[in-house]
Amino acid sequence: MVGLLMVREASTKELCLSFVGLFVGNSFECDGNSRVSTPTQAIPTEQPPFVDDPAAVCSGVISPASDLSDLSTPLVFQMILQLCAAVLSLLPVGSVTSALLVVMVVSLMVYNKRRARLVSLINRIPGPPALPFIGNTIELNVEHDELFTRLVSGGLMYPRGDGVVRGWLGAKPWVLLYKSSVAEVELFARVTGSTTLWGIHRGVNKAWMGTTPYLMLSKPAMLEPILASNKNIEKSQDYVYLRPWLGTGLLTSSGKKWHTRRKILTPTFHFKILEDFLDVFQEQSDILVEKLKHKVGKDPFNIFHYVTLCTLDIICETAMGRSVNAQGDSDSQYVKAIYEISSIVQCRQAKMWLQPDWLFKMTSLSNKHDNCVKILHGFSNKVIRERKEEIRRQKEEKLCSSPSAEDEALIYGRKKRLAFLDLLIEASQDGAVLCNEDIREEVDTFMFEGHDTTSAAICWALYLLGSHPEIQDRVVEELNYVLGDYDRRLVMKDFQNLKYLECCIKEALRLYPSVPFIARQLKQDVKIAHYTIPAGTTALIVTYMLHRNPEYFPEPEKFNPDHFLPENCVGRHPYAYIPFSAGPRNCIGQKFALLEEKAVIAAVLRNYRVEAVDRREDLTLLGELILRPKHGLNIRLQPRRS
């Protein structure tokens, strides 16, 4: 309370100006003679050197090099107290307003005290200067393409600190981990045209989103303590906006629920079950080939649209056992709802003012979002209900007629194909493990994760093969060698023998990972280099930059499938290449995805020669839910044979 009694030492106006001056980036001093001195020094962008003692960061004085987002120093406390005391002195004694103000001040002090350790640790990591409460939000409030450029180039921006850079988006700290060389900095600036480079750093960057710190990482050794952890498995807050649609399924859940779901779902991706899906992959690929016929020898077109509809048909049939016929009817309500809700989620992730639910509900997007969720849940619930009823009838018929095993395996004259839905219903043991809502969460999660990411991987691979005809020819030679007869179907052994095609797909995912960022909410402190990353920080792993590390991939910007020949993979750090994440929370469907990608690409290349139209340096990338080009990927098709 001493601060409350010192109010007479300076006028209310002086104290207000001092307080405001602190927050606008200057350190003002009250001289006690009813005047305010000029700013002592503007806060520069250089960060303070690394300090071993946390107390030294909060030493009682805000130095010119202190980050503006750090509101927890004793000087700030004193100024808050003095400002409130000045305001209280103008109010009637015992007024309700006075009491509320005191409560507010005390609450703010307690809040800041609790955050003092987090802020002090985060601010040791180099990064851009931040504003109070909003952090670096203004710098990142840009169009999606520029946002991706800034986040990626953030790993090349800051000249200090062993590969670690930090920043604030609001009062929330970000920390990025990177690993880049001088050559990469120059190359990135040339390719992206970025003028926001801060300098060279060595693998780590940070920023603040509101009050949450984000740590951006792209150095393999720095990722391992996070991705290999069985404790830090919680996804970041950015995934919250998917919950109205996906609930708390495998993608968005955490803790015990995630462990339970993962254990239940892992058997559904068994080798034998995946083998049953090969027919679906090839049937839908054949439809895609037929749809592309009218593009052969014509003007360039965007391949993304066609491939996305194909992968949507594949995942719907494999996940639910039903076809939405997206390739035949792209105007269906379900297909439109998936596209629209994905766009809305991306918008909420990028725009800070759309993130609070109460603000979002005041926008027109909220009604569109709710309508999409209604359509998507309605479709899933209907399929689950009908499939359960079908299984019930089959059990009753089995009891009455006791059919042979061969009869049970046949439905409408063909071998029964189990969808993921059937496997989930079987695992639910009549609701003992998974209720209808649980099943819907996982089916919807498969639908979301299984079409956009795979379609992006297929499109980037086709584009890169179209840009390198000599590599495309090698793939076609392998297809001809493995398959022999042009018209026969691929079997599992064929997929396993398409080694070079697999190298091409992996190389495409290296250059253009479907998911360019992986975000984790840290529940425990993590030691990275000589930094302690505190619990509460969001770790943003920048796979786009991680995969461009010349230490593991010579000539990292070159499309070179030989990077993934067995002899070139020996000794490579296990976290140097993670298109499907890594550790206990890696992608459960990565084998499914690789088989699907092989099937679709093989079908296209067996029928058409692909020619890329766009140059890589002319592409504008959008790092949203998936990594995609802003204006699509334009290609030409020529007939492979008459």
Please return the burial class of 560, using the count of CB atoms within 10 Å of its CB with bins 0-12, 13-18 and 19+. Answer: buried
Which residue, 216, 248, 33, is CA-closest to 127?
216
CB atoms inside a 10 Å sphere around CB 389: 10
- Measured CA to CA, the distance from residue 300 to residue 312 in angstroms comes to 23
- Measured CA to CA, the distance from residue 428 to residue 440 in angstroms comes to 12
Taking a C-beta distance cutoff of 8 angstroms, is the pair 68, 119 a contact? no
Taking a C-beta distance cutoff of 8 angstroms, is the pair 638, 297 a contact? yes
Which residue, 211, 153, 184, is CA-closest to 542?
153
Alpha helices of 331-435 — where are they, by DSSP H?
333-350, 357-360, 364-401, 405-408, 420-428
Q: Residue 209 belongs to what H/E stretch?
A: strand 204-209
Taking a C-beta distance cutoff of 8 angstroms, is the pair 158, 203 a contact? no
- Which tokens in the block code for residue 438? 């649980």
587 annotated as ligand-binding: yes
Taking a C-beta distance cutoff of 8 angstroms, is the pair 233, 257 a contact? no
- Which tokens in the block code for residue 631? 């204006």
- Residue with tokens 């992986």, as numbered in its chain: 518
- Residue with tokens 């009050």, as numbered in its chain: 211
Q: Report in angstroms the alpha-carbon separations of 256 from 234, 260, 524, 562, 573.
A: 11, 6, 16, 41, 30
3-class secondary structure for 56-74? HHCCCCCCCCCCCCCCCCH
Which positions make up the binding site for heme? 587
Which positions make up the binding site? 587
